[in-house]
Chain A
Amino acid sequence: MNEHIVTSYEEELALLDKKIAHMGGLAEHNLGQAFDALERRDPRQAELVVKSDKAIDQFERDIEALVISMIARRQPMANDLRHVMVALRIAADLERIGDLAKNIAKRALAIAHESHPKPLMTGLGHMVELALKQLKAVLDAYSERDAEKALAVWRDDAQIDAMYNSLFRELLTYMMEDPRNIGISTHLLFGAKNVERVGDHTTNIAETVHYLVRGTNVADDRPKSDQTSTTLISHD
């Protein structure tokens, strides 16, 4: 890609990318730390995550201001126009991801003094691991303007959905076994749901990156693998 004739315009576009990368890194870090706090039942770390979310919010506001000022002052066209619009959308998605990480951290606080069912935590851990991998991949796709990589992320979301489905069933079973487990299970269920939402936002970002690079939307429908909204416990 050629450089702009106006150097400061080029610098502003680069700054936008830098902020997105920074914000993405922070969201990634918060999600990892939130699960860590949950797993290790560490309320102090959970609180750190909650606090750090404010920085993500600030990033979003910064990016929004930068985009608005660029639209007003530079009137971006074609790929530049897509670039700034995409940055705005990615920032919104990352902010939601940050919120979801904060939510997990809050649940970690709530269940810090209860015993954890080991197998369930492992399942959730796998899910978080995959979500983080996806998030990192999509941020790489963005910075490398790699539509194929973004498409790969977009396709792999089905895995997270599948893992969430199985975790959902497990938690249901666990709750049915002993009603005393319902408290912690519900929290874990919501945590899992949050991770699944992170995956959805990651998918959104992947679509956005694809639009940025190719100028068109992802042609076919996203594969839907989250079946929990139609799942009921069968009393057979």
Chain B
Amino acid sequence: MDAIVANPSSATAAAHVMPGSGFKVSARDCNVYYGEKHALKSVSVDIPDRSVMAFIGPSGCGKSTFLRCINRMNDTIPICRVTGKITIDGQDVYDQSLDVVQLRARVGMVFQKPNPFPKSIYDNVAYGPRIHGFAQSRAELDQIVMTSLEKAGLLKEVKDRLTDSGTSLSGGQQQRLCIARAIAVSPEVILMDEPCSALDPIATARIEELIDELRSNYSIIIVTHSMQQAARVSQRTAFFHLGTLVEEGETGHIFTNPNDKRTQDYITGRIG
């Protein structure tokens, strides 16, 4: 399929933009190897601030791998090797001088399966601020916890049972608790790895609504298998296939008239 109209925000066009120029997160020529396997091939992408970026693609296409590069979660896998450059506000994530603990405080993460700690709701949210020493007093910590729960849209539901176990909540509530936990350390970027894949449609809708609200304060990157979800929540969408970033662009454009045939085949339900 030939493009008769040039798309200004395609992957190739983005490669000419210098890192840090108006984008929150920028990746240049990012490669990931799991031992011998070349999992991510020369990905370059820019992610704007205060917007939602969706990563879509078939399983094993590298979208989660790339997501986990941004907060260096891949460091926990010994055989994983990352080359290239990823910057947040122009600062290299893989720079020796950058502390990974600090980075993960700046880049929050929400996982596929809701994974609250088997502790009280309060302790779940307070854990991050506690280990980073954000609060000087108990009152201040209470403030942080309440604000985070409020922002995650969970406060009303759990106000009276903050001491209950986080695992006693429903799946959707647990996921929002995880979002509150991520918000509590005041991150700039929130990474979401298929946050709704284990939830029912109503809980999913709640999370999507929450993502839309959080957009005004955070840069959000969401990996999802649901194209409808990507279309609903994101402003920009990137399509990964076999470890390469095939196409990146405005969500409306990607879902009505993608430039690349592989993108079109994937989103219309044909085999690429």
A76 to B227, CA, bound (A): 11
Whole-angstrom CA separation of A5 from B58 in the bound complex: 14
Residues of A within 8 A of B263 (CB): 78
CB distance B257 to A78 under 8 Å? yes
Name the distance in Å between B136's Cβ and chain A's nearest Cβ.
51
In the complex, what residues of B have CB within 8 A of residue A227's CB?
none
**Which residues of A line the B interface, CB within 8 A?**
1-6, 9, 75-82, 214-216
Q: How many A-B residue pairs have CB under 8 A?
A: 46
- Interface assignment of B269: CB less than 8 Å from any CB of chain A: yes
| Bound-complex Cα distance A158 to B228 (A) | 42
Contact indicator A78/B5 (Cβ below 8 Å): no
B127 contacts A by Cβ under 8 Å: no
Residues of B within 8 A of A5 (CB): 269-271
A82 CA / B269 CA spacing, docked (Å): 15
**Chain B 234-272 near chain A by CB (<8 Å), digits 1 or 0:** 000000000000000000000111100001110111111
Establish whether residues B270 and A78, one from each chain, have CB atoms under 8 Å apart when the complex forms.
no
- B77 lies within 8 A of chain A by Cβ: no
Cα-based distance from A6 to B227 in the complex (angstroms): 16
Give the total of B residues in contact with A, Cβ under 8 Å: 18
Q: Contact partner of B268 among A76, A214, A215, A216, CB < 8 A?
A: A76
Q: A214-B4, A216-B4 are in contact. Are A4 and B268 (CB under 8 A)?
A: yes
Q: Nearest Cβ distance between residue B237 and chain A, in whole angstroms? A: 11
Contact, CB under 8 Å: B268 / A79: yes
CB distance from A64 to the nearest CB of B (A): 21
Rounded to whole Å, the gap between the CB of B246 and the closest CB of chain A is 13
Query: Which B residues are in CB contact (< 8 Å) with A1?
Result: 270
Checking B228, B264, B272 against A79 with a beta-carbon cut-off of 8 angstroms, the contacting residue is B264
Known A-B contacts A3-B270, A5-B270, A77-B268; A82 and B257 likewise in contact (beta carbons under 8 Å)? yes
Task: Give chain B interface residues in 195-239, CB to chain A under 8 Å.
Answer: 227-228, 231
Cross-interface CB contact of B265 among A2, A76, A215, A216, cutoff 8 Å: A2
Residue from A3, A9, A78 in contact with B256 in the complex, judged by beta carbons closer than 8 Å: A78
Cα distance A4–B4 when bound, in Å? Answer: 25
Known: A78-B268, A79-B264. 10 other contacts (CB 8 A): A2-B272, A3-B270, A4-B270, A5-B271, A6-B269, A9-B269, A75-B228, A77-B231, A81-B256, A215-B257
- Give the chain B neighbours of A214 by CB distance below 8 A: 4
